[in-house]
A and B are shown apart, each in its own frame.
Chain A
Amino acid sequence: MKNLIDIKDLSVEEIDDLIEVAKDIIANPEKYSHKCDNKILATLFFEPSTRTRLSFESAMLRLGGKVLGFSEASSSSVSKGETVSDTIRIVGCYSDIIAMRHPKEGAPLVASFKSVVPIINAGDGGHNHPTQTLTDLLTIKCEKNRLDNLTIGLCGDLKFGRTVHSLISAMSRYKGIKFVLISPDELKLPEYVKKDVLDKNNIEYCETKNIEEYIGDLDILYMTRVQKERFFNEEDYIRLKDYYILNKDKLKNAKEDLCILHPLPRVNEISVDVDDDPRACYFKQANYGRYIRMALILKMLEVK
């Protein structure tokens, strides 16, 4: 695998392999602690992100490698007008692999055309975020011990939420998956995702505005934040940002083994009174993110 731009770049078998390697890293971390000695990861973050960048950097450091990069566009040559292609060609001289986040959709794909080292898309606008999806899949696999026969509730911003679109795309390739799409009318899942992914794969789904309506049916509840940066109109953002707030009361009819996920950061959509509930898996999810990124770096650098 040369680059990871979109979760669809990975076959189900490749995803399963990555999950198995990640699980082995969790079980035997010392076995992997020098796998990337003398390798350098460049983290090019043209848009601020704390957890994804630190997760990538931690992953590489835990593999024995080193990291370099920048955490915002203003500290790079982009502020002088340099193109993505030029930046990538230069950074490729100094590193063995690049993780890149960019506010413009498609920027990592453009980078991959000219790069001599593997590119990992660490998020491009509201478009793709494949390593978040891999994180979600590893979390589900570890917490539910399967990736098939699950009823998954997706709640919040289903319109702009790239993690939601990618998760639907990835999970639709497994058997027995049902989705419950929970959102206000303004943030419903786009028609093209329903048509191109759900309908095309004969995936059962229903839509509701009420989080409690189907909560008793769910194996996974994936909460999302309404992202201010995706709105052109602040009034719409203010009106919709607190549409859903998951709290203990709303969970009273949920299954005992429900798994609550959130790509984080959260704002108000999950009340802190849920944090100590054994069904809250979102902080564990952040930890799984490092392990799957370790597995991904190993695969892309072809380190055995």
Chain B
Amino acid sequence: MNIDSIKNGYVIDHIKAGRAMRIYELLHLNDLDCQVAIITNAKSKKTGTKDIIKIDRDIPINLDALGFIDHNTTVNIVKNDKIVEKKKLSLPEKIVNLATCSNPRCITSSEKTLDQIFILTDKENEVYRCKYCEMSLKKKQ
């Protein structure tokens, strides 16, 4: 399968297989009018399979969102057909409006204008807790 190389933009690589569409939605890539390629279940030496997203435009990327969904992802920045930088991601300390609190007793359930803020409280087990009610966030796989 051939997919055109990109001139200026990003190759988001090493995405855990099956998570590409979540990233596509979270980064609002459907709003772009440039070429966006989503490759799912590509072969990976490390993990067997992986997803890849190629974006043929230099746009602001929300690295916190990417790190939250899959911090093992690599973001390759492409300029003039060449990879000029590889960004390694980490779990963000705080995420804002990337998830919603599931606790019906949380203040965010009744005051909809509040930002949905989650704080990383346990890095080892990737546990985020709601800033307001401290309910743990159930991450989608």
Contact = CB atoms under 8 A, between A and B. Distances in A.
Interface stretch (B66-74, B80-88, B101-109): B101-109
B29 to A, nearest CB: 32
B132 A105 contact: yes
Interface string A101-125: 0111111011000000000000011
A106 B133 contact: yes
A207 B108 CA distance: 34
B107 A107 contact: yes
Given A104-B105, A196-B121, A127 B134 contact: yes
B111 interface: yes
B131 interface: yes
The A interface, classified by DSSP as helix, strand, loop or mixed, is mixed
Contacts, number: 47
B136 A84 contact: no
Contact of B105 (A84, A110, A125): A125
B107 A106 contact: yes
Contacts of A109: 107, 131-132
A57 B83 CA distance: 66
B113 interface: yes
The B interface, classified by DSSP as helix, strand, loop or mixed, is loop
A192 B128 CA distance: 12
Nearest to B125: A195
A232 to B, nearest CB: 8
Contact of B109 (A104, A127, A192): A104
B105 A83 contact: no
Contacts of B114: 110
Contact of B133 (A83, A105, A196): A105
Interface in A195-248: 196
A83 B64 CA distance: 29
A64 interface: no
A146 to B, nearest CB: 30
Interface string A69-84: 0000000000000011
B53 interface: no
A127 B136 CA distance: 13
Contact of B110 (A104, A124, A126, A192): A104
A104 B107 contact: yes
Contacts of B12: none
Interface in A175-207: 192, 196
23 contacts: A83-B111, A84-B107, A84-B111, A102-B107, A103-B105, A104-B106, A104-B107, A105-B105, A105-B106, A105-B133, A105-B134, A105-B135, A106-B106, A106-B130, A106-B131, A106-B132, A109-B107, A109-B131, A110-B111, A127-B105, A127-B134, A192-B127, A192-B136
Interface of B: 103, 105-111, 113-114, 121-122, 127, 130-136
Interface of A: 83-84, 102-107, 109-110, 124-127, 192, 196
